[in-house]
Amino acid sequence: MKEELFVSGRMNDLIDPSLNIWHWQIPLYLFLGGMAAGILCIAALYYIRGKEKEYYTAIRITPFLAPVLLVFGLLALFIDLRHKLYFWQLYTNIKLQSPMSWGAWTLMVVTPVSFIWCALHIKDIFPKWNWKYRWLLALETFFNKYKKVLAWVMLIYGLILGIYTGILLSAFNARPLWNTSIMGPLFLASGLSAGAAATLIMSKDNIERKQFARIDLVIIGIELFLIVHMFMGYLASTQVQVEAAEMFLGGQYTMTFWIFVVILGLLIPALLEILELRKYHIPALISPLLVIFGSLMLRFIIVYAGQVSRWLY
Amino acid sequence: MRYAMAVDTRKCVGCSDCVVACQTENNVPHGFCRDWVVEVMDGTYPQLEIEIRSERCNHCANSPCVRCCPTGASHFEEGGIVLVNKTECIGCGACIASCPYDARYPHPDGYVDKCTFCYHRIKNGMKPACVEVCPTKCMYFGDLDDANSDVSVVLKKRKYKTLIPEAGTGPQLYFLI
C-alpha cells in the first residue's frame, strides 16, 4: 500500500487535494460560446447555400441570440480572471501554441461579426428601425454588399470558436480526462446541436422545424458516437486515463454524466424528435430545451471532473 | 546554461526548513507556498519504506505552463528557468491547470506565482534560499552544462529519478534515490 502525505506547506484548497481553479464561469462560457458558435455556423452555412427563404428563422432570427450569448460568455470569462485589469495583455501578442490565445483572437473577430449580422437583419424584428446617422446607413449598405464574404467569415470563425472550446481543455496534458483530441469535435458537435435547438425553439415554420429536428438528430448521433469513442480511447490508454474514465464508469461522476448528459440531454430528445418526425404530437419545447440543458451539463461535468483527474506520482 | 536542482531523498528528513526559508525569502503570502515536502510511505508494517521529497516547480524543459499561457507572462528565463511576469499575467489559471505537479498558485494580488529557483539570488552568485538553509545539505543546485557544478557532480555519482517524466515535461528537478 502506498500512501502519500503532504508533510508541510502545500495545503492550498485551490490545488489540493485536487485542482479547484476553474469554477462555474469557465463551463458557462464554454457552453455560451459553443451555442453561439453553433447558431452562427448554421446561419452562415444556410445563407451561403442560398436557403434564406426555407430557413428564414435560422438565418435571420436565431442569430440575434448569438451576440447576447457571447457578451454573457465574455463577461463570465472576465469574472474568472484574477488579474482583471491586465486582460488587455491577451491582445498584445498571438501565441499559436496556446488555445486560449487564439481563442481570444477568434472571439475578437466573431463577436463583432455577430453584431454586424444582427444589424443587417434588425428590420425583421423592429420593422420601423431607423439608423438615424448616415454613416451607419452607409456601413449597412457596405456590409449588405459583402454579405456573402461576411457569411464565410462567420462560418469559418464560428467553427473555430466551437472547436476551440474543446481544444482549450484537450491541450492540458496534466489533466488526463481533458487530454483527448475528441474533446474538440465533441464540444463542436454539442454546440451545433444547441444551436439547432435554438432554431427549433424560435421557428414557427413547420418545414423549417422538421428540417432542424432532423439536423439535431444527426448531430446527437455524432455526439453519442464521439462519447463512446472517447471512452474507448481512455480505456485503451495509460493508467491515468483509465482512471479518468473510471470516474464516469462507476466512479463519482457516473450518475450525473449518464443521466443528465446522455439520457436527458441526448437519448430522450433524440427519441422525442424521432416520434415528432413520425407525426406524433410532442410539445415543441421539450426536446430542444433538453438538448440545451444536456449541452450545458456536458461542459460543467467535463470541466469539474477534469480538474479531479490527475497524474499520480 | 541549464539550471537544475537535485534533492537527496536519502538525506532529507522532512524538516520543512526549505519551505519556511522560501516563504521568508520570497515573501510568499500566508497560506501559500512555492515548495513543499512530500512523504511517501510504501509497504505494510513492518516492511515499510519511506521517501521524503522536497518538491517545487520542475522548471521543465518542455513546460506545459509556458505553452498554455495566452499572454506570454509565463516564459523561459536564462538557463531554462520558468518565470511569470506579473504585469503580463491576467490570472486566467491556464498555467495552473496545465501543471501536472501543481506547482503554481494564484497570488492574492491576482497574478500567478511559483518557484523562481530564487532567480534574484542566483543572478548574484548565491544559491536558492532552500538550498542554502537545508540543515542536512541534501539539496544541490547548479548549471548542468558545467561539469563541475554541484548538481552535475552529484548526478554523475548517484542514481536519480525525475517526477512523471512520462508526462513529457522534461523536469529539471532530480531526486537522488
Q: Is A105 on the interface with B (CB under 8 A)?
A: no
Cβ contact A14–B43 (<8 Å)? no
User: In this model, does residue A217 exceed pLDDT 90?
Assistant: yes
User: In this model, does residue A150 exceed pLDDT 70?
Assistant: yes
User: In this model, does residue A282 exceed pLDDT 90?
Assistant: no
The domain spanning residue B141 has which CATH number?
3.30.70.20
- Determine the average pLDDT of the residues in A144-164: 95
A234-274 residue pLDDT tens = 999 999 999 999 999 999 999 999 999 999 999 999 999 99
- Determine the average pLDDT of the residues in A265-288: 90
Residues forming a β-bridge with B143: B3
Nearest CA in chain A to B17: A8
For residue A116, being part of any structural domain is answered with: yes
For residue A42, being part of any structural domain is answered with: yes
Cβ contact B164–A16 (<8 Å)? no
B52-67 residue pLDDT tens = 999 999 999 999 999 9
Higher-confidence residue of B153 and A133: namely B153
User: In this model, does residue B9 exceed pLDDT 70?
Assistant: yes
What pLDDT score does A132 carry? 84
Nearest CB neighbour to A8, from listed B16, B90, B100:
B16
Nearest CA in chain B to A12: B32
Q: CA torsion sign, A181 to A182 to A184 to A185?
A: positive
How far out from the chain centre does Cα A307 lie?
19
Neighbours of B4 (CB within 10 A): 25
Identify the domain containing residue B55 by its residue range.
3-176
Neighbours of A144 (CB within 10 A): 10
Percent of chain B whose pLDDT exceeds 90: 90
Q: Could you tell me if A151 and A48 are in contact, meaning their C-beta atoms sit under 8 angstroms apart? A: yes
- Determine the average pLDDT of the residues in A81-104: 91
Residues of A in contact with B167 (CB under 8 A): 173-174, 311
For residue A254, being part of any structural domain is answered with: yes
Chosen for mutation from B18, B34, B39, B71 (greatest number of chain A CBs closer than 10 Å) is: B71
DSSP state of A129: -
Q: How far is A108 from chain B (nearest CA, A)?
A: 14
- Determine the average pLDDT of the residues in B3-25: 94
Q: How far is A147 from chain B (nearest CA, A)?
A: 32
User: In this model, does residue A303 exceed pLDDT 70?
Assistant: yes
How many structural domains compose chain A?
1
Percent of chain A whose pLDDT exceeds 70: 99
The domain spanning residue A75 has which CATH number?
1.20.1630.10
What pLDDT score does A9 carry? 65
For residue A57, being part of any structural domain is answered with: yes
Q: Which of A75-89, A139-153, A270-284, B9-23 has the lowest mean pLDDT?
A: A270-284
Higher-confidence residue of A193 and A313: namely A193
Q: Which distant-in-sequence residues (6+ apart) come within 8 Å of A79 by Cβ? A: A25
Percent of chain B whose pLDDT exceeds 70: 100
The predicted complex's ipTM stands at: 0.90
Q: Is B62 on the interface with A (CB under 8 A)?
A: no
Identify the domain containing residue A78 by its residue range.
25-308
Q: Is B133 on the interface with A (CB under 8 A)?
A: no
User: In this model, does residue B11 exceed pLDDT 70?
Assistant: yes
- Determine the average pLDDT of the residues in B26-40: 91
User: In this model, does residue A4 exceed pLDDT 90?
Assistant: no
What pLDDT score does A15 carry? 82
- Determine the average pLDDT of the residues in A199-218: 91
Q: A96: which 3 cell numbers?
A: 499559436
User: For the stretch B137-170, what's the b/e string if a residue is b when 16 or more beta carbons lie within 10 angstroms of its beta carbon?
Assistant: ebbbbbbbeeeebbbbebbeeeeeebbbeebebe
What pLDDT score does A1 carry? 67
Q: Which distant-in-sequence residues (6+ apart) come within 8 Å of B100 by Cβ? A: A173, A174, A310, A311, B64, B164, B167, B169
Does pTM surpass 0.90? yes
- Determine the average pLDDT of the residues in A19-35: 94
Nearest CA in chain B to A79: B92
For residue A5, being part of any structural domain is answered with: no
What pLDDT score does A283 carry? 85
Q: Is A130 on the interface with B (CB under 8 A)?
A: no
Cβ contact B70–A80 (<8 Å)? no
Q: A216: which 3 cell numbers?
A: 439535431
Cβ contact B90–A90 (<8 Å)? yes
How far out from the chain centre does Cα A229 lie?
19
What pLDDT score does A16 carry? 80
Rounded-to-integer distance, Cα A164 and Cα A112, Å: 18
Higher-confidence residue of A18 and A66: namely A66
How many structural domains compose chain B?
1
What pLDDT score does B43 carry? 87
Cβ contact B89–A86 (<8 Å)? yes
Q: Is A108 on the interface with B (CB under 8 A)?
A: no
- Please provide the DSSP assignment of B28-65 as one string: PPTT--SEEEEEEEEEETTEEEEEEEEEE----TT-HH
User: In this model, does residue B149 exceed pLDDT 70?
Assistant: yes
Nearest CA in chain B to A9: B36
Chosen for mutation from B22, B68, B105 (greatest number of chain A CBs closer than 10 Å) is: B68
Cβ contact A100–B92 (<8 Å)? yes
A155, containing H or E segment: helix A147-170
Nearest CA in chain A to B71: A90
Neighbours of A84 (CB within 10 A): 12
Residues of A in contact with B98 (CB under 8 A): 171-174
Q: Is A92 on the interface with B (CB under 8 A)?
A: yes
- Determine the average pLDDT of the residues in A115-119: 94
Cβ contact A93–B14 (<8 Å)? no
B65-112 residue pLDDT tens = 999 999 999 999 999 999 999 999 999 999 999 999 999 999 999 999
What pLDDT score does A64 carry? 95
Q: CA torsion sign, B169 to B94 to A39 to A156?
A: negative
Identity of the amino acid at A79: I
Cβ contact B71–A174 (<8 Å)? no
Rounded-to-integer distance, Cα A190 and Cα A186, Å: 6
For residue A10, being part of any structural domain is answered with: no
